[in-house]
Amino acid sequence: MNSITPLLGLSSEELTRWVIEQGQPSYRAKQLHQWLYTRNIRSLDEVTVFPKSWREQNKTPVGRSTIALQTPTPDGTIKFLLALADGQTIETVGIPSDNRLTVCVSSQVGCAMGCTFCATGYSGFGRHLEVHEIVDQVLTVQEAMSRRASHIVYMGMGEPMHNLPRVIKSLRALNQEIGIGQRQLTVSTVGIPGKILDFAYEHLQVTLAVSLHAPNQTLREQIVPTAKNYPYADLLADCREYVRTTGRRISFEYVLLSGFNDLPRHAEELATRVKGFQSHVNLIPFNPVDEARFDRPTPKQVEIFRSTLERAGVAVSVRQTRGVDQSAACGQLRRRAFLQAK
Ligand code: SF4
């Protein structure tokens, strides 16, 4: 930890070490923790229990972003565009329901995976997010929506497994410093060779959501370019190892693209792949993206696909798309703001 590492995301032990390094008594760490995570401070200067002279000298950043834009939707979902310290922007979404607030966080600025149905994929890769920039997204949504987050999904911009060390540290911070249960944390991936196993051996109790999006290698390579380096059978073998190591079931994500991967024969083939697997399939009707050549399937197409899987004994559900008219598809808000600024 160097002197300019932002404070957000540090573990309690690291915070205690930092406080002592700064010449303050160790009990100040507990106070600082409370001000960071429950009083939502943006600068150390706000921590009025600390001596004024010390606050005036200490320029260590807290690590908070600012809200550049927010788009509320009629169903209560709010999509935020957040400006980071270096001027980069990322998207975060707060999705409320009766008894939960789910926050969908980004793990990178942009994304290197280039999936052909995804607005973020068209923006290219910017950089990895630091731990404090991931944790900040949760605090920002909690503050703006005046509710505590109950569930976190790493399904915003970026491929979490491409930024695995920081993602793992942020998961620990959300669990230990903010108090969100590990089982309420979900990490999504399109799969990078070796990373699912690295993640499994961390022995966290979080949910792994694997974006399959196709029933076979040939179709998958056409929409997830990085799948060329990760044969379908190897991906599924790593998923089985994840289940064996953690005891957690896998969630398979499947975006339904009209006429491309949503026919009954695709559902039948998918069923043969995931049947007998401790897993659940989440179907996501495609959210239109300006650049992509795909269409959204009709509700009838979605239902035929779902019921075909169900008849084959696969646990399956259809994810409700929320805020679809408000640039809500992954990466669209940022891309639209970027294009308007050009
Ligand atoms: S779908 Fe996910 S992994 Fe693929 S380009 Fe978009 S953000 Fe990246």
* Residue 56's pLDDT band (cuts 50, 70, 90): confident
Q: What does the mean pLDDT of the chain come to?
A: 91
pLDDT surpasses 50 at 325 = no
pLDDT at position 4, please?
A: 79
Q: In this structure, are strands 125-128 and 108-110 parallel, antiparallel, or unpaired?
A: antiparallel
| 72 contacts 96 by C-beta, under 8 angstroms | no
Ligand 1 neighbour 115 (Cβ under 6 A) = yes
- Better-scored residue on pLDDT, 326 or 205: 205
Q: Where are the domains of the chain?
A: 12-57, 66-341
Q: Which of 80-84, 288-292, 321-325 has the lowest mean pLDDT?
A: 321-325
Read off the pLDDT of residues 203-222 as tens digits, 9 standing for 90 and up.
Answer: 999 999 999 999 999 999 99
* Distance spanning both ends of the chain, measured CA to CA: 38
List, for residues 231-264, the tens digit of each pLDDT value: 999 999 999 999 999 999 999 999 999 999 999 9
Q: Is the pLDDT of residue 3 over 70?
A: no
Better-scored residue on pLDDT, 132 or 23:
132
Pocket test for ligand 1, best of 287, 330, 333 (most atoms within 8 A of CB): 330
Question: What is the 225 CA–ligand 1 centroid distance (Å)?
Answer: 10
Task: Count Cβ atoms within 10 A of the Cβ of residue 160 and give its class: 0-12 exposed, 13-18 middle, 19 or more buried.
Answer: buried
- Cα 176 to chain centroid distance, Å, stands at 18
Q: Is the pLDDT of residue 331 over 60?
A: no
Radius of gyration of the chain (CA): 21
Per the annotation, the verdict on 91 as an active-site residue is: yes
pLDDT given for residue 112 in this prediction: 96
Judge if the beta carbon of residue 308 lies within 6 A of ligand 1: no
pLDDT digits (tens, 9 = 90+) for 255-296: 999 999 999 999 999 999 998 888 999 999 998 877 778 999
CATH topology of domain 66-341: TIM Barrel (3.20.20)
